[in-house]
Every structure is written in C-alpha cells, then in structure tokens.
C-alpha cells in the first residue's frame, strides 16, 4: 500500500526574493516539477530513480526557481511514468502542485480581484513560467475553456508536460474559484487509456480523450466572482514586479509570429497579412523583420503545422481528416501532400512508424473499463465512487 499524498495548504504570500529567472525559448521554471519527489514516494519510488533513468539532476528538480528545458522536463516525466506504471504521471505532478508553484505568475493569479482577471493575467504572463507554454481563455456562450497549449512539439514527453501544466491549471482554478468549483469537462490530447476512470476520479469531471489540445471547460458563471482571500494592494505590487520583468524579456519576431500562428491555426484567414495586422505591422514590415532573422512567414507556418501534426499523429487516434482541419487544411489530400514534403512519408505511414503504444491500443477501447489502479486517485485524496 503506497502512502497517500495530499496537497499542502496553498502559499498565498510571495517569497521575499520574488525573483523571475531569465528564460530562453524552450525552457521553463522547475516550478511544479518540485512536487515530483512526493508523487514518486507515494507510488513507491524515489526522485533519484527517475533522475537516473532520465539523466536529469535531482538537485535541479528540488529548486522551483531553477530552469529546465522542455526536453529534459518531458524526458523526466516519461521516466517517472515508466518507473511508476502511472501513464498520467505528469498530471499527478501538476495536480499535486499549488498555484504558487508558478512563482510570481501564480501569486498574481491568487491575488487578482476576480477569476476573470486571474485567468487574463495567467494568459498574459505564462511565458515567465515557460517560454513556449501558452494558457488561452476561450469564452463561448455559457462555457469557458482554459486551453493549455505547448509549442516545441518536437520535445520529448510533450504530452506529459502539457498534462502537468493542465494539472496546475486545475488546482489554480480550485484555488481562485473556491472548493465548490467543478469542471464541466476535461480535454486531453492523448489516446484513451485502459484506466480512463482514473483520470475522471482525479479531476472530478468527465474526460474527453483524443482532443486536439489539453483544456478545462467550466461555466462562465465563475468568471466574475471575487478570488477568495485576494489582496488588492499585493496584486498591484505583484503586477508591477512582473511588468518590470516583462520589459527585460526579449522576444524574437519569429517567436512571436510562431505563437500567433499556433493560436490561430484553425482561422479561416491565416495569412501573413492577418498575422501582421494582429501585430500592428504591415506585411512588408513583418516580412522584412523575419528576413532579418533568417526565416519567412511561410517557413514558420509550415514548421508550426508540422509540429502539431506530428504530435496528434503520434499521441492520438484522431482521424487524418480531422487533423488536417485542426492545422488549417480544408482537404485531407492537401494535408497529405504537405506532410509528405515535410517528412518524406505520408501521414498514415508516419503514424504507423511513430505512434505510441497507448494510441494504438486505444483504437479498440470504446467504453470506460473498471478502474484497475485506483491508488493514483487515492494519492491525492479522491476516493473512488
């Protein structure tokens, strides 16, 4: 019987040093990864075991303000999943964390005046937790979706990292909305596992697998509620701190364009003119500034599409026609031609050669099976029905 892990009381006061590490694209604060030691202990293993398997420093993972690459983060989470036998290890690590694990970004959210303001600040400043980590808020009718989007889709274990981010987002929503908050649905960009019920019990909501992005859907009725225990003066101070850090953060033009492309892949007009307008440039200025960095708009668009296509082909069972639509192709044939140019293989052949075992197995799973391993739900204090 493994030991039980429950979340500690969230820290609401920022640390005295309040430092924000300087992040390069493809890097993140250790932040929520610092909970991995406790999660592994609850599963009967040690941090050192997972670190030896992944080649990541245990000392690094014990300091939330240390900096780690997405590649190393994903490799460590993959090692933890393999070692523990918990395919949702990244999610467990995220749910075990608190909003404060996000550093100043998390403290800012906890002291925002309303839930809407908290989410807007998370979305605006999440790059101070990870350069290539996006939180997008999409409000449609009476449902709001918090999307957890990862750039650098070629990084190892990207889905594990994305699910860790989703787990922290889930605990943050619990903290800023209050204990009565519940999600309507959780979206995961992974194929349906045999133990799908473990995810449902852990996140206290229905889970939709084979989604294009990881996300959390909940009622818009929560958005204008005050954040419990928030401090207006502290919020203004923290906002000033993070805005000062923002002035010191350098963003390349290609990084900004890739980010905009990534968030607008399904737009009907994903042209250089549309992206230039979104950045308050004209087409000529944008093209000139990209050329100064040795890239073009068309090459960035192709790179983003290729990254997303590979992730969906590898980790999900989403049909090719739907993947084509998700990256901006109205016809599957056009997607197939483009993918062959990028990779030298058709999407179907690439999927056959690279798809994860979980994604292959999931094609035969139609309904939730029994929860064969409820211990992961118990770890965080959620008893089975």
239 lies in some domain: yes
Give the per-residue pLDDT at 12.
56
One domain, residues 264 and 355? yes
One domain, residues 244 and 114? yes
One domain, residues 163 and 274? no
One domain, residues 271 and 225? no
76 lies in some domain: no
One domain, residues 226 and 124? yes
Give the per-residue pLDDT at 289.
93
Biggest alpha carbon distance in the chain?
Answer: 64
One domain, residues 203 and 157? yes
Indicate the number of domains in the chain.
Answer: 2
**319: Cα separation from own chain's centroid:** 22
One domain, residues 342 and 305? yes
213 lies in some domain: yes
The dihedral formed by the CA atoms of 84, 89, 92 and 94, expressed in degrees to the nearest 10: 140
75 lies in some domain: no
**Rounded Cα–Cα distance for residues 180 and 233 (Å):** 26
Q: What is the pTM of this model?
A: 0.81
Contacts of 378 (CB under 8 A, 6+ apart): 4, 384
**Rounded Cα–Cα distance for residues 121 and 364 (Å):** 41
**Rounded Cα–Cα distance for residues 77 and 86 (Å):** 10
Give the per-residue pLDDT at 5.
39
Give the per-residue pLDDT at 359.
54
Query: What letter does residue 213 receive in the DSSP assignment?
Result: S
Give the per-residue pLDDT at 248.
78
Give the per-residue pLDDT at 19.
58
Give the domain range for residue 288: 253-362
pLDDT block averages, 10 residues each, the chain of length 385:
38 52 86 96 96 96 94 95 94 96 95 97 93 91 94 77 95 96 95 86 94 95 96 96 84 88 85 91 93 94 93 91 93 95 95 73 40 34 32
150 lies in some domain: yes
Question: Phi and psi at residue 208, in whole multiples of 5°?
Answer: -105, 115
**Rounded Cα–Cα distance for residues 37 and 96 (Å):** 11
DSSP string, 44-58: T--HHHHHHHHT--H
One domain, residues 294 and 180? no
Residue 306 is part of a domain; what is its CATH number?
1.10.10.60
Burial (Cβ within 10 Å: 0-12, 13-18, ≥19) of residue 237? middle
Write down the H helix ranges in 69-157.
70-84, 89-96, 104-110, 115-125
37 lies in some domain: no
Give the per-residue pLDDT at 375.
33
């Amino acid at each position: 019987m493994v030991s039980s892990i429950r979340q500690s009381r969230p820290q609401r006061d920022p640390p005295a040093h309040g430092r924000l590490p300087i992040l390069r694209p493809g890097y993140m604060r250790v932040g929520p990864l610092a909970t991995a030691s406790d999660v592994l202990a609850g599963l009967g293993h040690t941090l050192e075991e997972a670190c030896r398997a992944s080649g990541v420093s245990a000392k690094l993972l014990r300091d939330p303000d240390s900096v780690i690459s997405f590649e190393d983060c994903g490799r460590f989470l993959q090692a933890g999943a393999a070692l523990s036998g918990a395919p949702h290890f990244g999610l467990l690590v995220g749910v075990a964390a608190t909003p404060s694990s996000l550093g100043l970004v998390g403290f800012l959210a906890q002291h925002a005046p309303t839930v809407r303001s908290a989410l807007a600040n998370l979305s605006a400043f999440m790059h101070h937790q990870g350069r290539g980590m996006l939180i997008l808020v999409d409000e449609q009718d009476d449902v709001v979706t918090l999307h957890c989007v990862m750039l650098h889709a070629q990084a190892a274990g990207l889905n594990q990292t994305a699910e860790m981010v989703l787990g922290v987002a889930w605990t943050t929503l619990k903290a800023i909305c209050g204990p009565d908050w519940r999600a309507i649905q959780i979206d995961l960009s992974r194929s349906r596992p045999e133990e799908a019920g473990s995810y449902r019990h852990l996140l206290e909501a229905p889970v939709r697998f084979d989604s294009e992005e990881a996300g959390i859907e909940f009622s818009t009725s929560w958005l204008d509620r005050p954040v419990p225990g928030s401090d207006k003066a502290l919020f203004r101070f923290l906002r000033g701190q993070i805005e000062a850090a923002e002035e010191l953060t350098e963003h390349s033009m290609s990084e900004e364009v890739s980010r905009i492309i990534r968030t607008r892949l399904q737009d009907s007009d994903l042209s250089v003119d549309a992206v230039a307008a979104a950045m308050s440039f004209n087409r000529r200025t944008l093209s000139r500034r990209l050329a100064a960095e040795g890239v073009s708009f068309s090459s960035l668009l192709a790179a983003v599409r290729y990254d997303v296509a590979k992730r969906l082909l590898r980790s999900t069972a989403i049909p090719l026609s739907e993947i084509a639509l998700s990256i901006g192709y109205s016809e599957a044939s056009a997607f197939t031609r483009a993918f062959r140019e990028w990779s030298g293989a058709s999407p179907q052949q690439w999927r056959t050669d690279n798809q994860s075992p979980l994604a292959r197995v999931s094609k035969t799973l139609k309904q939730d099976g029994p929860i064969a391993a409820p211990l992961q739900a118990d770890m965080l204090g959620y008893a089975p029905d």
